Amino acid sequence: MRNKIFMLALMACSLFTKAQQGAEILIQANRATLERNFDEAIRLYGQFIKLNPSDFRGYFNRGTTEYNAARYDDAIRDFTQTLSLNPIYKEAYYFRGLCYVEQKKYPLALVDYNKILDKDPGNVSFLKLRSDAYVGQGQNDLALKDLDVALTLDKLSGDLYKRRAEIKVVKKDFEGAIKDYNSVQILMPTYKMVHYIKGNIYMQLNEVDFACEEYKLALASNIIVAERVFESTCQ
């Protein structure tokens, strides 16, 4: 009986030591990632995984580090392993989709985004991601549809208006793009490039006076690229 109790105590102590060691490695790996020492972080996450092969955190954290290091194939493998251990972990679908987009594998990215959106159609983050994948495939109408839905859910997102405006420019819906950029101007006051962009759009519409006013505002915001077009068009 004493021997059995002693063995159980040893096992408990070993498990505690292993857990403590794993936690310390995870902290070191996370710190290395924050310091952008990606190779060291990946090595440390590998150590954590050896100690905790059934803990999805090791694979996910290593995957995000590999993504930041542009090691997309490695990241995809780790996100796939993450999902085999935790099939409902949204963040793994999020980052695996980003890897596929970086590799221009848009259909695979769409599969990942749809996994979430089929269950959570109002997820603004995944609507934005799916719109990016649609743009990559040249399906601008579907991208606009996703952004329209996202804007009904988050009306104060300057980023959503900016994304939608960029697509409208491609589709030559210049008036629609200007309306969206006007919203960007209000919601993202630090985005000074908007004046230069609006100036270019007004030029497409042959509204030279309006274009010059926007170029003037761009110059006042130190957007140097506006100087040449202002001098050639407005003086």
SS3 readout for the chain:
CHHHHHHHHHHHHHHHHHHHHHHHHHHHHHHHHHCCCHHHHHHHHHHHHHHCCCCHHHHHHHHHHHHHCCCHHHHHHHHHHHHHHCCCCHHHHHHHHHHHHHCCCHHHHHHHHHHHHCCCCCCHHHHHHHHHHHHHCCCHHHHHHHHHHHHHHCCCCHHHHHHHHHHHHHCCCHHHHHHHHHHHHHHCCCCCHHHHHHHHHHHHCCCHHHHHHHHHHHHHCCCCCHHHHHHHHHC
Quick one: pLDDT band at residue 235, thresholds 50, 70, 90?
confident
Task: Give the residue, 139 or 31, on which the prediction is more confident.
Answer: 139
Asked if the model's pLDDT at residue 4 lies above 80, the reply is: no
C-alpha of 207 from chain center: 36
Task: Give the residue, 33 or 80, on which the prediction is more confident.
Answer: 80
* pLDDT recorded at residue 19: 62
Cβ neighbours around 104 below 10 Å, total: 11
Whether 179 is in a domain gets the answer: no
* pLDDT recorded at residue 88: 94
Whether 63 is in a domain gets the answer: yes
Whether 156 is in a domain gets the answer: no
Average pLDDT value for residue range 86-95:
97
pTM of the model: 0.84
What CATH number does residue 81 fall under? Answer: 1.25.40.10
* pLDDT recorded at residue 33: 84
Whether 137 is in a domain gets the answer: no
Q: What percent of the chain has pLDDT over 90?
A: 79
Whether 37 is in a domain gets the answer: yes
Asked if the model's pLDDT at residue 10 lies above 70, the reply is: no
Range name among 16-25, 38-47, 105-114, 198-207 with the lowest pLDDT average = 16-25
Whether 177 is in a domain gets the answer: no
| Number of folded domains that form the chain | 2
Asked if the model's pLDDT at residue 11 lies above 80, the reply is: no
Whether 187 is in a domain gets the answer: no
* pLDDT recorded at residue 20: 72
Backbone angles phi, psi at 174, to 5 degrees: -70, -40
Domain span holding position 228:
192-235
Quick one: pLDDT band at residue 111, thresholds 50, 70, 90?
very high
Q: What CA–CA distance (Å, rounded) separates 25 from 130?
A: 35
Whether 149 is in a domain gets the answer: no
Q: What CA–CA distance (Å, rounded) separates 114 from 53?
A: 28
